[in-house]
Structure 1
Amino acid sequence: MSRSIRALALLLGLSLAVVASACGSSDSTSSSSSTKDGPLTVGFIYVGPKDDYGYNQAAYEGSIAMEKATGAKVLQAENVPETADAEQVMQNMIDKGAKLIFATSYGHFEFAKNLAEKNPDVVFVHQGGLKGDAKLDNLGTYFGTVYEPVYLAGIAAGKATKTNKLGYIYAFPIPQTLANINAFTLGAQSVNPKATTTTIATGSWCDPSVQAQAVKSLLDKDVDVISQHQDCTKTIIEATEAAGAMSVGYHHDASSLAPKGWVTGSEWNWGPLYTDIVKTVQAGKFKGSKYDGDFRVGLQTGNNPFVQSPYGSMVDADTKATIEKAKQSFVDGGSPFKGPVKDQDGKIVVKAGEQPTYAQIETMDYFVQGVVGKIG
């Protein structure tokens, strides 16, 4: 990803709630078992609120599951912007005794790295970072292969649409969002070759007013199934449901918000991974572990923390069977991007019979054929 795109993402993704980052902070402790030296203090920072029906809520719930499983003392901070304020919030946690920090938003990475250099006795793990720093033994990144279950959700969307027009509302044109949009489109096209995906970039991880306008714009284009890559998902799903259209969720199970139009979705199950990271640190074995670097897990390599959401009533048995077959192909080593794959201009970007690695997909900078809209 270019420096200009990253800078734009950081600039536009700033939260207005700098004060809220302090006000939203809270401490919680667990009464369950701890290490022989006392409970490990672990800090979590989130770019948004912990009840956003999306990215931050999934991470928060994962931290609570980890707390119960490990006996760690957990420090929480919501609404932490992707600015130097994040560094101050993390430093405050260190001052309170934190020896492990989970920096959970894309734009928190550089601030976590800064602190890792200054605090060699504190471990920092970053959620979704494209690449860590091999020189630092106390810094790692982790993530799941988000585009695998998104491809499977695309199959359900391709079957559900009546207009053959799908919509995708995303924040920034980073490789993760581009891969998701492309996988969603390819999944839909695998069962419905006429399906297209119209995209709208909001320039924010969470801006309800912009999200609502994006939904209206897509509906005006005859889109009848809307998905998203936003941190907070509530506005988009509720607006889509109110209009009588269908939703494919992201980050968290939001099926309760769309009792009629929910198709399916993809969501995080962070608890087991968070727990394993914490236990690794508790044991003093972070250095040289699989987390000391850039840890990725997907259906090809293990238990992906990004999983399928429940199905809606419109998803029939045949569609479910098709999805399970595709999922098994990924478990067996396949990929949503197995060639041939063409970009919007018809250029072959993945040759027939070939498939990109996880690392190559994390550098994706194009839209596939069938995606409507420019990257930006």
Structure 2
Amino acid sequence: MKKTMVMALVILLCGFAGPVLAQDKQIKAGFVYVGPVGDAGWTYAHDLGRLEMEKLPFVEPSTYIESVPEGAESARVINGLVRRGHNLILTTSFGYMDATIDVAKRNKDVIFMHCSGYKTAENVGTYFGRMYEPRYLSGIIAGKMTTKNIIGYVAAFPIPEVIRGINAFTLGVRSVNPEAQVRVVWTQTWFDPGVERDAADSLLDVGADVLAMHQDAPATLQAAEARGAYVIGYNSDMRHFAPNAFLTAPVWNWGALYTQLAEAVHNGTWKSEQIWWGVKDGLVGLADIHAKVPDDVKALVQERTAAIVAGTLHPFTGPLKDRDGHQVLGAGETMSDGEMLSMNFFVEGVQGTLSK
């Protein structure tokens, strides 16, 4: 899935001229999903964006195909969407990257957008979000709400996207609570509720009183609810799975991007580029913060959100050390996109292995 940008070096606009685009073009969009729409997480959030796109008057009823395996099988599915006349195809998982590029080479009149990858072509662009920004903000809440200073993090795979999220979250935690530790357990899966629940329970067993997650199911929330802990969700607002435990969640608003993409294709202004939007652009943000979080904490989160939007706060600004005490950034230095996209270290305060 979203093995984002393991080899990408920097988000750059690509110099492709792009396919010849007609103005006032009707859009027939096709979406390829790695999980089920009912996962309440990653795929569910994408599908909300698809439905938002469909509200545009020039967008025809769209098609989605769910639970498509990454790899060779995805090429068959993408080809099928082309044969059925879709002129905008969105592939929403990292593992679809090579298949997307291959199919695009043979179908230059179709526009393809690939989520979280780094390969582009004249009719292929990429897109993702700066999820590290709301991760940092959610860490502030976790750091303020823990009483044991043990925060658990149920994580999928040790890849830059996930590592970046863990680090941003931990920097948020320790900006308000330098004594807190973030303990990481890897599940090696994006969507397996049973494995996710076991990982969450293992963190609760060692004393974590707040959990966070990079998973596509609500099992971590359900574990926290059952054990009387707090939880930070992910992907979408899953509070109904844990009404007492839920604090907030870093969430996606894919509709903000999908509507703009459809408009660009419709107007004939689409171009191949690599999109990496943040809180300022409305693609990522925090779900409503629960009433149990104190007002002063909410105010602090609002203040730092405004600073991120204004460009005066960047979570990865020095001085910054890795957990072994080695300096990563000097005072006032800000990490580049390329460095963030290839992140392979833990910051101070993270406990866990970086290996699979």
Counting aligned pairs with the same residue, the percent is 39
Q: What amino acid sits opposite 1:127 in the alignment?
A: C
Tell me, yes or no, if structure 1 residue 338 matches structure 2 residue 326. Answer: no
> By how many angstroms is 1:6 displaced?
6.7
Distance in 2 of aligned mates of 1:126 and 1:170: 23
Contact 1:199 1:372 in 2 (8 A): yes
Aligned to 2:18: none
Match of 2:165 in 1: 180
- Aligned pair partner of 1:64 in 39, 48, 51: 51
Match of 2:229 in 1: 245
Shift of 1:267: 0.7
Deviation of the 1:138 alpha carbon: 0.5
Instruction: Report the equivalent of 2:258.
Output: 274
Give SS of 2:144's match: helix
Q: Does 1:311 align with 2:311?
A: no
Structure 2 partner of 1:298: 278
| Letter matched to residue 338 of structure 1 | T
Shift in Å, 1:270: 1.1
* 1:192 matches 2:177: yes
CA distance in 2 between partners of 1:82 and 1:217 (Å): 29
Contact 1:170/1:201 (<8 A) preserved? yes
Cα deviation code 1:80-120 (max 9, x no counterpart): 11121111111111110011111011211111111111211
Q: Residue 120 in 1 paired to residue 100 in 2?
A: no
Contiguous gaps of at least 5 residues in structure 2: 8-22
The alignment's C-alpha RMSD in Å is 1.7
The aligned amino acid for 1:146 is: M
Tell me whether 1:256 sits opposite 2:240 in the alignment.
yes
Q: Deviations over 1:104-160 (max 9, x none)?
A: 11211111111111211111101122x223xx2101111110000110000000011
How far does residue 369 in structure 1 lie from its aligned partner after superposition?
0.8
One-letter identity of the residue aligned with 2:38: D
Q: Does 1:163 align with 2:148?
A: yes
State the Cα distance separating 1:293 from its structure 2 match. Answer: 2.0
Q: Residue deviations 1:219-258, cap 9 Å, x none?
A: 11101111111122x1111122111111101100001111
Partner SS, residue 203 of structure 2: helix
Question: Map of 1:346-357 to 2, 5 A cutoff?
Answer: 346-357=325-336
**6 and 335 in structure 1: CA distance in 2 versus 1, 3 angstrom threshold:** closer
Q: How many residues align?
A: 335
- 1:70 deviates by 4.2
**After superposition, what is the alpha-carbon deviation per residue over 1:311-343, rounded to whole angstroms, capped at 9, x for unaligned?**
123211100111112112212222111101111
Match of residue 138 from structure 1: 123
- Aligned to 1:250, the other structure's residue is in SS state coil
**1:326 aligned partner:** 304
Amino acid at match of 1:46: Y
Residues in 2 aligned to 1:69 and 1:160: alpha-carbon distance in whole angstroms? 42
Distance 2:111 2:305 in 1: 34
Q: Distance in 1 between matches of 2:27 and 2:274?
A: 23
Instruction: Give the residue type in structure 2 aligned to 1:328.
Output: A
1:81 aligns with 2:73: no
Q: CA deviation at 1:284?
A: 2.3
Give the secondary structure class of the aligned counterpart of 1:320: helix
Could you tell me which runs of 5 or more consecutive residues in structure 1 were left unpaired when the two chains were aligned.
8-34
For 2:220 and 2:319, locate their aligned partners in 1 and report how far apart those are by CA, in whole Å.
Answer: 33
User: Structure 2: which amino acid aligns with 1:313?
Assistant: A
Measure the CA separation in 1 of the matches of 2:101 and 2:45. Answer: 24
2:91 is the alignment partner of 1:103 = yes
Matched with 1:24 is: none
More contact order relative to length (CA 8 Å, sep ≥ 6): 2
How do residues 139-154 of structure 1 correspond to structure 2 at under 5 angstroms? 139-154=124-139
2:323 and 2:347 in contact (8 A); partners too: yes
What one-letter code is carried by the residue in structure 2 that aligns with 1:149? P
TM-score, normalised relative to structure 2:
0.90
Preserved CA contact (<8 Å) 1:160 1:263: no
